[in-house]
Amino acid sequence: MANEHILVIEDNERNRRLVRDILEFRGYRVSDAETAERGLEIAAAEPPDLVIMDIHLPGMNGIEALARLRAAPATGVIPVVAFTASVMPGDRKSIMDAGFDAFLAKPIAIKEFCETVAQKLAERSKE
């Protein structure tokens, strides 16, 4: 599959660029935002097939942004993958308990990253 639209919400420019480059190389269309607020605007205007979201963002954090995505009819079913440096077991549990569909740790492990993206998109296409 290719050409799916993926929204990356990440405040670190280097991480955002790396993720965008990896995804575009694999044939995905990518939108990105540095803040949760901007990401929510993009998602409302053009709902993506998948969202990759940092947890620690300026302003609204990723968990609150996830709750807002889930509450909106147009974005409520979009799979959302947490992409974070908060990798302690307690952090991972609280992030997954918040309702994220998957968890990816920073620094990025490219193979795991690509497999997770492909898996979540495949699961969505079966719905």
Secondary structure string (H, E, C) spanning the chain: CCCCEEEEECCCHHHHHHHHHHHHHCCCEEEEECCHHHHHHHHHHCCCCEEEECCCCCCCCHHHHHHHHHHCCCCCCCCEEEEECCCCHHHHHHHHHCCCCEEEECCCCHHHHHHHHHHHHHHHHHC
The CATH number covering residue 37 comes to 3.40.50.2300
Q: How many structural domains comprise the chain?
A: 1
Task: Give pTM, 2 decimals.
Answer: 0.94
pLDDT digit string (tens) for 84-105? 887 677 788 899 999 999 999 9
The answer, yes or no, to whether residue 73 has pLDDT greater than 60, is yes
Residue 38 has pLDDT above 90, yes or no: yes
pLDDT of amino acid 89: 73
Whether residue 1 has pLDDT greater than 60: no
